[in-house]
Amino acid sequence: MVDPTLFLPAAFELAGHRCPATPLGVRAGAAAMNHLGVARSEDRSLYALLELGDEHWAGCFADAIQTVTGCTAGKGNFRRLGYGKLALTLVDTTTGRAVRVAVRAEVLLELKRSAFFQQYRRQGVPASQVPSEVAEPVIERVLSAPDEILLSVSEVFASDLAQAPEDCRSFVCDRCGEVVAEAHGRVAGTRQVCIPCQEALLRQDGRTSAA
Ligand SMILES: [Zn+2]
Ligand SMILES: [Zn+2]
């Protein structure tokens, strides 16, 4: 069993401040892992589909999911679906088993009624500027609530999401001399170049032909 509290310090560290979205994320991530019976993804055995989009007030939910599951933006086994929901689907790509975990509406509605949200976050105060006597009780409330109150967890279902193999191939750009992953290479005339160099060459050509 994954203990979400073990991942809290690292998740707060990654997020950069203490807010209730982080404990919600570690709890949701750990619940998904415990339902699948899987350990943290050292490589890319797990894949997380996060439903939250960008610029959301609870964006730290995403940082916490990455911290606890090991599905990270860097390794590429983490994708945002942009549905604007505090929910994730976690896929064990080795077995094809998946589970969806969502934060319950009542939990989020209560959070939005709190002083933390009404008097600070909604007024545009960054989470790091919210006094700790306001933030800590809501964090504690999330941490002390049982999973059933906090989260709704789907049945385990089958997913055909397969992990693409890592690509180790690369080349040296003919224009800037930097190393570029093969899949991102472009051809400009007889030269193999990177995307910015291809764009620069196209702009150059445009100017030459306009002149
Ligand atoms: Zn936050
Ligand atoms: Zn280049």
User: Of the bound ligands, which one is closest to the alpha carbon of residue 194?
Assistant: 2
CA of 180 to the centre of ligand 2 (A): 8
Q: b or e along 101-136 (b: 16 or more beta carbons within 10 Å of the residue's beta carbon)?
A: bbbeeebbeebeebebbeebbeeeeebeebeeebbe
3-state SS track over 147-198: HHHHEEECCCEECCCCCCCCCCCEEECCCCCCEEEHHHCEEECCEEECHHHH
Least Cα distance to 66 among 52, 84, 82 occurs for 52
Biggest CA pair distance of the chain: 70
User: What's the pLDDT tens digit per position in 92-101?
Assistant: 999 999 999 9
Mean pLDDT of 62-78: 95
168 pLDDT above the threshold of 80: yes
Start and end residues for every CATH 3.30.1330.20 domain found in the chain: 4-158
CA of 193 to the centre of ligand 2 (A): 5
Give the type of residue at 110: E
Cα–Cα distance between 33 and 22 in angstroms, integer? 17
CA of 139 to the centre of ligand 1 (A): 11
Look up the CATH number of domain 4-158: 3.30.1330.20
pTM: 0.89
Of the pLDDT bands very low, low, confident and very high (cuts 50, 70, 90), residue 55 is: confident
CA of 107 to the centre of ligand 2 (A): 49
CA of 174 to the centre of ligand 2 (A): 7
**What is the predicted pLDDT for the residue at 205?**
84
